[in-house]
Amino acid sequence: MTPMGLTSTHFISYHEINIKEIDLIEDAWGLNVSFRDVIELLGHFEITPEKGLTDKLIDKIRKHY
């Protein structure tokens, strides 16, 4: 019988995962994420903010400037 450590995957903690050189969206969905790809992907969603949300955003922008 082989010792367990030689045949199974060792666990790592979340903090040991190095993602500095990895594009997580590209890695997760296989997308080559450039600006054109993102715009094309967003075209698949119908996102319309509620009137109240739009008014609040406009008020905040006016107060800021």
Residue 56, pLDDT score: 92
Q: What type of residue sits at position 16?
A: E
Residue whose tokens read 């450039």: 34
Q: Residue 63 above 80 pLDDT?
A: yes
Tokens of 29: 């969905």
pLDDT mean over 19-41: 73
Domain boundaries, the chain: 11-64
pLDDT of residue 62: 93
Selected residue with higher pLDDT from 51 and 11 = 51
DSSP string, 1-65: ---HHHHSPPP--GGG---TT--HHHHHH-----HHHHHHHHTT------HHHHHHHHHHHHHH-
